[in-house]
Amino acid sequence: MKPMRLTLANDAPMGKDWTYEVKYDGFRTLLYWSEEGIHLISRNEKDLTDRFPEITALAETINPPKLPLLLDGELVVLNTPYQANFPLLQQRGRLRNKTKINDIATSRPVTFVAFDILLDPKWKLNKRRQVLKDVIKKLPTNRIQLIESFTKAEDVKAIVHTHQGEGIVAKKKDSFYQEDIRSKDWQKVKNWRTISGFLTHFDPSNDYFQLAIMEDAETTTIGKFKHGLDAEQHETLRSFFKNKGTKTEGGWNLGPGVCVDVHCLHAENGELREPVFHEFRFDLSHDECTKEKLEWDLSLFPENVTFTNLDKALWPGVTKREYLLYLRDIAPYLLPHLLNKKLTLIRFPDGIDKPSFFQKHASSSQPSFVETWPENDEEFLLCSGLESLLWFGNQGALEFHIPFQKVKEQQPTDIVFDLDPPDRDAFSLAIKAAQLFKQLLDELDVRSFIKTSGNKGMQLHIPILGGSMSYEETRGFTESLAALLVRQHPESFTTERLKKKRGKRLYIDYVQHAEGKTIIAPYSARATEKATIAAPLYWNEVTENLHPDQFTLQNTLKRVQTYGCPFSDYGQARLHQPIETMKSLKD
């Protein structure tokens, strides 16, 4: 069978009769689960079963509550819970070598995000969703997930914008599933990136127009488009190319001059994903259609934040523009660690070589979207969303430090060991300490996460549920583990607070984990010469080859998009910690 299809809309229908979902950028797939196993069929009825063994192998270890099952959903490579990586999925879909397929299925697995179940054609969407929810709940795997449903379009729009997702889907609650029908009961709204370029080529054999930008004073092609032009616009451009262009074997070439805006989802490696003509830009010259403008437009900056002095250097060779691009694109990974926590910012308004200052209180000049937390006649800064994060960045906030508890809680939600070697040349001591801590925590069944500090050390994080342990109890836990490592390796580690008494040993700072103290947030930049990042790591990366200078503002986003976020299940891990074991641990 072929799945039900969606109607493209300019905006989502509103009202209590509708429900809303994230539109993922993946392969629309039907998952058929029978006694014979799992089969994956694309919307064009192509068999994808042998391409995704991490999904099909589930049939060997899981017994669903009822067979057969027919699920409609999207196969995706998830960067974040709401952002899919289509280029990686596309590469995956082209693989045929079984060894390579199995390797990537382990290192960067796909997820089947289920949004419908096809058991009874008489069931309406509400009924189908409840049955689907019950089925997914009984499957002990995160490789098959239930899509999240929203009652307000504004909520899902905000999420999709922050996570730079593909778009949203609106579905009528009382709709029936209509096989291979494009129905207005299901409507999709794209989260377009609107980019600017100038036209350079027209191919009359397929009606494609080629789009280019200026990069280092040279013309660079970024892709081509044909859709979105009405008949008059199409004829105008066609005639212009014929009258003003140069005839070639493949069509007509045109010098830089005619600028247009095009909607798309991605622009990468000379290709535009789902390009649609938007409008002519007679107010732009081709010199303004630059690589810098393209990068900015693709990142979907919020319109209600003002950005200034973008060419100012904040680090040697790194401008504010580059920093804001990093903040914008890393926001889905960084924001979860900042939400509902009192911030301590370190601001460098004129760059790391000029004076800096700490800020944790609100100022009179901040915009209304920057939220605060009142406490004891003080107003503390919060970072509640993308707009706040970028406004702080524009103000020169390069470092984001966070406490261990949320504003409405008195007890910690995170335990952190700060592994502080005497200098960068002794970073190997931090690696040794992290590996030893990992062994101890694994023996206790404690889930732990590791990151570089972005400076000269590392930090080990243990997420816990707020209220599950007091600061006194976490202090007993951290002190006992730190003391154990010092006893076992007195030549390498110390808990001595005075620097002059530490010698060349690494300082295990468990005292830093206390009420009122802070730690650098995961993915925050640091004010170092190389613009390093407090970078989350996979534990298998913590080897002698590791060095904090490897993770910088220039490469961290690409790293996380390629390999995934090592802290992706940080929130889930806090639900399964052996709290009673941790409380009972004493020195």
What's the average model confidence in pLDDT over 377-389? 96
Judge whether 418 lies within some domain.
Answer: yes
Residue 451: beta bridge partners? 459, 536
CB atoms within 10 A of CB 474: 24
Distance of alpha carbon 397 from alpha carbon 395, whole angstroms: 6
The structure tokens 């299901």 sit at 186
**286 has pLDDT over 90:** yes
pLDDT at residue 66, as a whole number: 86
How would DSSP label each residue in 165-211? Answer: -SEEEEEETTPBP-TT-EEEEEEEEE--EEEEEEEEEEETTTTEEEE
User: Domain tally for the chain?
Assistant: 4
pLDDT at residue 512, as a whole number: 84
Residue 462 shares a structural domain with residue 561 = yes
The CATH number of the domain where 221 resides is what?
Answer: 2.40.50.140
Q: What percent of the chain has pLDDT over 90?
A: 96
Residue 260 shares a structural domain with residue 215 = yes
Catalytic residue of the set 23, 188, 190, 456: 23
pLDDT tens digits for range 520-568:
999 999 999 999 999 999 999 999 999 989 999 999 999 999 999 999 9
Residue 365 shares a structural domain with residue 504 = no
Judge whether 306 lies within some domain.
Answer: no
The structure tokens 């005075």 sit at 498
pLDDT tens digits for range 99-153:
999 999 999 999 999 999 999 989 999 999 999 999 999 999 999 999 999 999 9
Distance of alpha carbon 25 from alpha carbon 362, whole angstroms: 39
**Which of 347, 369, 402 is the last residue in one of the domains?**
402
| Of 344, 416, 330, residue with least CA distance to 373 | 344
Residue 442 shares a structural domain with residue 562 = yes
Residue range(s) defining the domain that contains residue 484? 414-584
Higher pLDDT, 365 or 223: 223
Judge whether 303 lies within some domain.
Answer: no
Judge whether 451 lies within some domain.
Answer: yes
Residue 180 shares a structural domain with residue 235 = no
Judge whether 308 lies within some domain.
Answer: no
Q: Phi/psi at 319 (nearest 5 deg)?
A: -90, 170
pLDDT tens digits for range 397-445:
999 999 999 998 999 999 999 999 999 999 999 999 999 999 999 999 9
Contact 196, 293 (CB under 8 A): yes
Residue 387 shares a structural domain with residue 273 = no
Contact 146, 133 (CB under 8 A): yes
pLDDT tens digits for range 447-467:
999 999 999 999 999 999 999
Residue 166 shares a structural domain with residue 40 = yes
The mean predicted confidence, pLDDT, of the chain is 96
pLDDT at residue 587, as a whole number: 54
Is beta strand 5-8 parallel, antiparallel or unpaired with respect to 182-190? Answer: parallel
Judge whether 407 lies within some domain.
Answer: no
Judge whether 493 lies within some domain.
Answer: yes
Residue 430 shares a structural domain with residue 522 = yes
Contact 510, 495 (CB under 8 A): yes
Judge whether 304 lies within some domain.
Answer: no
| Segment holding 458, helix H or strand E | strand 458-463
- Amino acid identity for residue 115 in this structure: F
Catalytic annotation present for 184: no
**Which of 353, 381, 402 is the last residue in one of the domains?**
402
pLDDT tens digits for range 196-231:
999 999 999 999 999 999 999 999 999 999 999 999
Residue 428 shares a structural domain with residue 457 = yes
**Which of 242, 269, 298 is the last residue in one of the domains?**
298
What's the length of the chain?
587
Q: What percent of the chain has pLDDT over 70?
A: 100
| Of 138, 128, 115, 258, residue with least CA distance to 199 | 258
Residue 429 shares a structural domain with residue 357 = no
Whole-structure pTM over 0.85, yes or no?
Answer: yes
Residue 392 shares a structural domain with residue 507 = no
Residue 341 shares a structural domain with residue 477 = no
**1 has pLDDT over 90:** no
